[in-house]
Amino acid sequence: MKIIKSSDSTFKAEFNALLGRGKMDIKSVEGIVGGILDEIKNDKNSALKTHIAKFDNWEVTVDSDLQIDTEAMRMAYEAIDANLKKALHLAYDRIYAFHKKQLPKSWLDFEENGNVLGQKVSAVDRAGLYIPGGKAAYPSSLLMNAIPAIVAGVKEIVVCTPTPNNEINELLLAAMHLCDIKKAFKVGGASAIGAMAYGTETISKVDVITGPGNIFVATAKKMVFGEVNIDMIAGPSEIGIIADAKADASYIAMDLLSQAEHDEMASSILITTSQTVAQRAKEEVYKALETLDRVEIARASIENRGAIIVVDDLEEACTLMNEIAPEHLELLIENPFELLPQIKHAGAIFMGAYTPEPIGDYIAGPNHTLPTGGTAKFYSPLGVEHFIKKSSIISMSKAGIDEIGEACALLAKTEGLDAHEKSVRIRLEK
């Protein structure tokens, strides 16, 4: 893990490399993914069975094998440790309470002349949730994707998750039961995205697809966008930390590693005003690294995708971090709320020494499905708004159209749309 100074002659080139960390070579897999999607669109369940045999190493004998039994969900929930069950409920309640505050309301504005303008908020009919299940299973991702849909009022939630060798994580099953999931399927990868986007004999076509995944999942989501809505195109996980001279190097190290253990392509970036903190943090990273179960994954991430940058002041740290626009940003400084106005781009912001990123992953309440690779400059975290749509309401009285109709007709005439103009004028003349 290299330490670089913003004043170094090589800094610009090295920093630009960090800015490109989230680039996925989507074009390299578009042909493969396009073929998978076409097969799903044309052959539906038959294609799913072929893909599952090929990628997940088990045979689907009848269509019903695709679906996860709700009784298995209930049994898994009943079987889990009492403390773990309590933790799941605490997470559910906090995530629900946070997202409940996001729910927008329909509104009507009554003007004096009798016109009524407004907005109607409605949930989508069906939401598709993709929950990864490759290198690890993520029950927390089920909670983070399902709960906003529940709060939004989505009537039908469809879950797809890969089950290598026809095995599924028991805690994920328990989380499904907690979220009252009725339709969940043993389908992963681009095949799952295609099934939810186009529909099959077993899996309903949905209106929106959310959830993280590998490059094949991300590419599939990009390719079906327009057929359905999607939340975002997420890449490898990442963390940015801004630290001052008083920051605890052991905290910094473990927080950097908390992202590095996700994936070899994860990025962990520290920006600090202290050369001493930079050096101590590096030492602590390599010391803590050897204690991790996923040491080889974390080592590859830290050595190939990690960086420590030493800057002159916190203002420069914010400028650089805004360019990075990290998925997760920790402010490990003495007065984090004073620095907050200078932060413009980050998926989630963790304030102070006692707010490690994993608190946000599991139990704080805000969503952990976040924009990566610098896309926090224009994407927001997953939320209730991803599962709703808005309709405009317009009602004109006779007095109202008499008041503004002439201006409308003139604009239509100027654009050369004769029927538009006459549609208004016929009402002004009666």
Residues forming the active site: 327-328
Q: How far apart are the first and last CA of the chain?
A: 77
**Distance between CA 160 and CA 189 in Å, rounded?**
9
Q: Can you name the residues that pair with 306 across neighbouring β-strands?
A: 268
**Distance between CA 325 and CA 343 in Å, rounded?**
9
**Distance between CA 351 and CA 329 in Å, rounded?**
9
CB crowding 20-43: b at 16 or more within 10 Å, else e: ebbebebeebeeebeebbebbbee
Which strand (E) or helix (H) includes residue 125?
A: none
Say if residues 144 and 386 touch (Cβ distance below 8 Å).
no
Say if residues 373 and 22 touch (Cβ distance below 8 Å).
yes
Say if residues 310 and 3 touch (Cβ distance below 8 Å).
yes
CA distances from 295 to 57, 278, 289, 305 (A): 27, 21, 6, 15
Closest by CA to 73, choosing from 192, 153, 168, 156, is 168
- φ/ψ (deg, to 5) at 109: -120, 115
**Distance between CA 139 and CA 211 in Å, rounded?**
12
State the pairing for strand pair 229-230/208-210.
parallel
State the pairing for strand pair 107-110/208-210.
unpaired
Alpha helices in 153-241 (DSSP H): 170-178, 189-198, 215-224
Which strand (E) or helix (H) includes residue 262?
A: none
CB within 8 Å of 101: residues ≥ 6 apart: none
DSSP code per residue over 362-375: HTSSS-S----TTG
- φ/ψ (deg, to 5) at 312: -80, -35
